[in-house]
Structure 1
């Protein structure tokens, strides 16, 4: 190894280790702030909601938030240890060499490396996933899944992932080897096309494999929702109710699909808890995202960021220090494309974590804009009571740490958001 290569390799190692350590410290510090803040405010409902939220509900939300945060600390520590094991401690390099010895060089070995990595990573994550579902969620009355359904979901998602993921991986690996120095541009075009296709086919081909979607049968509610969408200039392929209650007591509603394939989906748990005017208000909020073109803006942002990512990957695949600096001995006699994909996937979140607050802030801005649109189309009071019911139903704390909110939350904090709704409710529309 030349001096310049050694310097670049050691530089990347030091930079990666520093970013990982700083990121882990920052995560622990923010989570510790969240735990302290929620615990300190557990004993009393915020004054603004003292007449609408019971102390028992407030304390349940606090306890649920604390339990998730403490589990998150364990997940952070495990995630950092596993990441170090794959990279600087040589785990990915050892796995690659073992598969080279077993299968030789070539496409089969590269696909086997990707598949083995996914399987091993999934196996490492499985115990915490099981604990979250059957211990944490169960303790707070949210889990409705049986072990049989959980295993069935795991099997189905694994099969779908393999059926879709392996051909995509094979095609990208082929592009990397066969389309020259601009392979990353062709791969990006394919990846974006696939994601747009997935937006269209997911609602009708994939989602029904996991849940039942029945047409909304409540004629009065259907008429209200249809009138609201027409008033807002929005059309959808259908209104559906999803059997979310077979997995969780959490409630939600969402739009899915793209273009002519858009559909509105209500959780059955949501319809059981909200009045018709409140359902209108929640739907109007979602329509606000479309009115302000938030979905298009996010897709365009995803296109731009992914293009930058593919271009960076195209450069890094040609740099030997990229492999050695992250603990991998690259193949000498064959392609390292699969290694490059995995290393990039492992390393990028370590660095991109520090710009996450920028995207969280933009997302919160979009949520406020959607709230304002909903208030203009329905009732601020209905939106306020609907959100309050959903916060209570999902045991979302009303007292998160403000700095934690600024760093992580894609939606505004409960108190900040509901206070705006209460101010809006006093203004006639």
Structure 2
């Protein structure tokens, strides 16, 4: 009787803790979003003095409206996501789905894989209206969407096929390992997970990305010569310089240094090359090289290793606790594995922790961006980098006046004022 009472108490405590964490997360995110909307709206009538000569009032107001629209839409997505999380957990949705699949398929690895696939398929279907609205309404309204419904459907079909070809074997392997490798399964699965991620870094540039975009060798002789000299000066090598047809989907511009080891390659969006001068292209590339020079990529991979190890350890322990299931609205399988249920419940709980840890990771990311900027300035020039960033801020409709508290929680890149201030040596 005491054990039953203790179990019921633990289950109730889990329910209360989950509900409280979800509520606090929602309240915090709504408060931050309201601050961002209010702050941006209050400063939309005038371009900040530091940018008055470079950014027009029309562009500044467009950025404000774009930011406010996306933030408001984000609140709708947030509310919907919270409702879905409650439906899956406390209202018993996941338990019902699991029991139905057991009644159809019986217990076994096939049923567990089917549960994971069904959960992800249902989740994708529930999120689909938001994805479509974001692309074909919001992005379209502000002139950023360049994709057609046909192209979007083609991308969607390719993603599904890749998920089936890569994702299904992987999750099947994980479920099998959880049941076959004993009490230390979480360590073995962690090792496989890390290997999978490293393999993805190797194969993505040359095998996966070309399925969605065309990558043509950089042909502009002036730009090619400049970036070749920059790479040599910085002591970097790559598999080549490529131009990606990003303009067929979006007007947003970017450049990146992708891959790992021998598969590294430099990729420029065609929209970026159309907007920036050769010295500004140099500066943007130097910024990306700065991340490698400071070993930010390696540091993030190591951090991911450590954090995921803790996560898998926690999952290994929680998966053995009855209250973890019952407290989150799930009736576990009796006398049969619950590995898929444990994975799914953990996936729904983990983002709540991320909400409160987010500012730490965002601060670290902003620190890395400052370091990469400093490297770019040393290798090229401050005015060139500042000019490139100003164009990108304007072309991407990034607000110049974000709320400072919102920045601390969400911004992985420093806001324009701080970033350009440091680049040009005017920050205090």
TM-score when scaled to structure 1? 0.98
Once residues 173 and 129 of structure 1 are traced to their aligned partners in structure 2, the CA distance between those partners, rounded to angstroms, is 30
State the Cα deviation string for residues 198-237 of structure 1 (Å, max 9, x = none).
Answer: 1000011100000000000111111100110111111111
Equivalent residue, structure 2, for 1:286:
288
Equivalent residue, structure 1, for 2:83:
81
Q: Specify the SS of the correspondent of 2:185.
A: helix
Contact 1:255 1:263 in 2 (8 A): yes
Give the Å deviation of 1:423: 2.4
Q: Which residue, out of 135, 147, 164, partners 1:133?
A: 135
Contact 1:9 1:322 in 2 (8 A): yes
Cα RMSD for the two superposed structures: 1.0
Once residues 309 and 232 of structure 2 are traced to their aligned partners in structure 1, the CA distance between those partners, rounded to angstroms, is 37
Matched, 1:189 2:212: no
Once residues 353 and 104 of structure 2 are traced to their aligned partners in structure 1, the CA distance between those partners, rounded to angstroms, is 34
Equivalent residue, structure 2, for 1:169:
171
TM-score when scaled to structure 2? 0.98
State the Cα deviation string for residues 30-57 of structure 1 (Å, max 9, x = none).
Answer: 0000000000000000001101100000
The count of residues paired between Structure 1 and Structure 2 equals 425
Once residues 417 and 164 of structure 2 are traced to their aligned partners in structure 1, the CA distance between those partners, rounded to angstroms, is 43
State the Cα deviation string for residues 315-359 of structure 1 (Å, max 9, x = none).
Answer: 111111110011100000311000001000111111221011000
Once residues 323 and 35 of structure 1 are traced to their aligned partners in structure 2, the CA distance between those partners, rounded to angstroms, is 38
Q: Which residue, out of 212, 215, 234, partners 1:213?
A: 215
Equivalent residue, structure 2, for 1:101:
103
Contact 1:277 1:382 in 2 (8 A): yes
Matched, 1:264 2:266: yes
Q: Specify the SS of the correspondent of 2:257.
A: strand
Equivalent residue, structure 1, for 2:73:
71
Matched, 1:16 2:18: yes
Give the Å deviation of 1:424: 6.4
State the Cα deviation string for residues 367-400 of structure 1 (Å, max 9, x = none).
Answer: 0000011001100000000000000000000000
Matched, 1:232 2:226: no
Which runs of 5 or more structure 2 residues have no equivalent in the other structure? none
Once residues 270 and 89 of structure 2 are traced to their aligned partners in structure 1, the CA distance between those partners, rounded to angstroms, is 44
State the Cα deviation string for residues 277-320 of structure 1 (Å, max 9, x = none).
Answer: 00000000011101111000000000000100111111111111
Equivalent residue, structure 1, for 2:406:
404
Once residues 102 and 169 of structure 1 are traced to their aligned partners in structure 2, the CA distance between those partners, rounded to angstroms, is 21
Contact 1:255 1:265 in 2 (8 A): yes
Which runs of 5 or more structure 1 residues have no equivalent in the other structure? none
